[in-house]
Amino acid sequence: MLRHRFHLPEDKIYLCGNSLGPQPKAAAELLGQELDSWRKRGVEGWWQGDGPEGGWLGFHRRVADDLAAIVGAKPEEVTVANALTVNLHLLMVSFFRVRGRRCKVVMEAGAFPSDQHAIISQLKFHGLDPEQCLVEVAPREGEFTIRTEDIVQAINEVGDELALVLWTGVHYYTGQFFDLKTIAAAGHAVGAMVGFDLAHAVGNVPLSLHEWGPDFAVWCSYKYLNGGPGAPGGLFVHQRHADDETLPRFAGWWGHRESDRFLMRRDFRPEQGAAGWQISTVPVIGMAPLLASLPLFAEAGGMDALRQRSMELTARLHTGIAKISGLTIITPADPNARGTQLSVYVPGHRPDLEHQLSAAGLVVDYRQDNLLGGDGGVLRLAPAPLYASEEEVDAAVSILEKMLG
């Protein structure tokens, strides 16, 4: 545990890294270094600097190795750029290809609204009716989570009409960790493209994107990656697409190959790999805190070690909450089917509950129920293994029992 490497809210138990990770203590120094370079060098900071890449031109490469290790990819398959939903739109330009009968998208029911907005707007952009072309897979009646066999069955039923499978890694609401390897294989078996939204999975659960083989993936950097509010997003493009200049894309100059970018030519020649999907100038100031956060994952022993600790902390939290009368844990009981987050249904909508818990010393996330059909709400608690402790888990259970038991 690297709790001492983070700034955490004073006198609070912080179990809300699934919404916004805390600030790494080294973030201010690393951000300050780039501000200092800007102050001292001005525009020359682009090619002069103290980092391993020199100036800012190669700034995105400074995070590639650490990020690749976190998501199970090759460094050239990942980059930091734009924001999650921007990246989702950009990659759907390349990988949501309407071809004859292939016009449908399969995704989970109750996906994060931003994903739903993106998919529906993309379908409309192509002149398609979302009611006909968006296939959503839901939990069975009386269940909270989606069975893998139902996902595969839906993919097979759509078959040669399927253009894209877009699936989440860990469901934001229920905390379910999906079998992404099986989903990718099922999508490719019927000839579709496959993409993942890893907003709640990256830095939370071990991923093997290169091995599992999705065509693309996107994520944000401000949750488990602790990159700060509004931190730039990240994206993955599988190596098999690295040199494919025929893929349609919305191009921008920072995606042009660096070797001749500054010749300012009209013709777009994409950088190899994921970097070819960058659009605008690398956001140096926004990325700097990631230089503090991402190396901590390796320092903690990598994602496998963090996963083990996460399982222990979440199991402890699960055992404690399960003893509180009236609460229902909707996250899978199987540790392999969940990340660090537990989602807990609380009957009777309590709009001030989040603030009441904070006043009692527990920072968590509360959402009014909009998926389960009840009259209550869902608490989401995430004992992130980089900084959460067993003592905090026990104290959190005590607060919940006192206020809700």
pLDDT value for 369: 85
pLDDT digits (tens, 9 = 90+) for 137-189: 999 999 999 999 999 999 999 999 999 999 999 999 999 999 999 999 999 99
Same domain, 122 and 255: yes
pLDDT value for 349: 83
Does residue 172 fall inside a structural domain?
yes
For residue 340, what is the domain's CATH number?
A: 3.90.1150.10
pLDDT value for 247: 94
pLDDT digits (tens, 9 = 90+) for 321-374: 999 999 999 999 999 999 999 999 999 888 899 999 999 999 999 988 877 777
What's the mean per-residue pLDDT of the chain? 95
Same domain, 166 and 269: yes
pLDDT digits (tens, 9 = 90+) for 13-72: 999 999 999 999 999 999 999 999 999 999 999 998 877 777 999 999 999 999 999 999
Same domain, 363 and 385: yes
**Residue (of 72, 40, 58) closest to 201 by Cα position:** 72
Same domain, 218 and 81: yes
Same domain, 128 and 277: yes
Does residue 290 fall inside a structural domain?
yes
Same domain, 152 and 90: yes
Same domain, 316 and 201: no
Q: Total structural domains in the chain?
A: 2
Predicted TM-score (pTM) of the model is 0.95
Does residue 82 fall inside a structural domain?
yes
pLDDT value for 375: 85
Distance, CA of 272 to CA of 275 (rounded, Å): 6
Same domain, 241 and 371: no
For residue 176, what is the domain's CATH number?
A: 3.40.640.10
The position carrying tokens 């379908």 is 123
Asked if 22 and 226 touch (Cβ cutoff 8 Å), the reply is yes
Write out the residue range of the structural domain in which residue 238 sits: 45-297
Same domain, 272 and 338: no
pLDDT value for 152: 98
Query: Residue 405's pLDDT band (boundaries 50, 70, 90)?
Result: confident
Which of 297, 321, 348 delimits the end of a domain?
Answer: 297
pLDDT value for 59: 92
pLDDT beyond 90 at 289 = yes
Does residue 210 fall inside a structural domain?
yes
Mean pLDDT calculated for residue range 214-228: 98
Q: What are the φ and ψ backbone dihedral angles of 284, each rounded to 5 degrees?
A: -55, -50
Which of 254, 271, 297 delimits the end of a domain?
Answer: 297
